[in-house]
Structure 1
Amino acid sequence: MATGEGKSLLFMLPAFCSTGMTVVVVPLIMLRQDMAARCKAAGIEYALIVFITLELAVGVAFSQFLNRQRVIGRLDRVVIDECYIVLDLSEGGG
């Protein structure tokens, strides 16, 4: 799907309807800021949506954070947004 066609709704709507945490991994800081702004505009409490860049998401500290959230029953989902960018960057593209 192209930009603006609603892909982000795939995580925004479930996050809006749940009481747990949604973690969204985005490849670029600018996308993270855009997603946070879009959630705020839609009235979604993005304090329960953690936006994190790919570089931080693969670290040990974040893995431990996710495990703690899962153990206490707070983690609902982990979403990788704009994953085609991640794939392009890993293959030397972009």
Structure 2
Amino acid sequence: RVDPAEVEVMAKKKTTEKKAKPPKAERAPKDSEATRVFAIRVTDEELAAIHQAAGPRNATRFMRQVAAAFAAENKDAFEAVLKEAKEARS
């Protein structure tokens, strides 16, 4: 014999309906100049030296400035990057 309350419970849907998520906001397109990637392989020692020279959270900017100064053969810019790195460590 089946209890009528059990029949009612078993007759209910077992799946729940999912709530609709609000649409995501559209992102603005990134600057096409800033989307270039230049990757290099370095040893752990080289990486530690770069981070030590650049200061906290500045390794990418430091490497970009050093590479640009080197490519342009701009000794003054290279020395300015080194000076800035020394000041950041102080």
Q: TM-score range by the shorter chain?
A: under 0.3
- Whichever structure has more strand as a proportion of its residues is 1
- Give the TM-score taking structure 1 as reference length: 0.26
- Whichever structure has more helix as a proportion of its residues is 2
**Bigger RCO (CA 8 Å, 6+ sep):** 1
- Give the TM-score taking structure 2 as reference length: 0.27
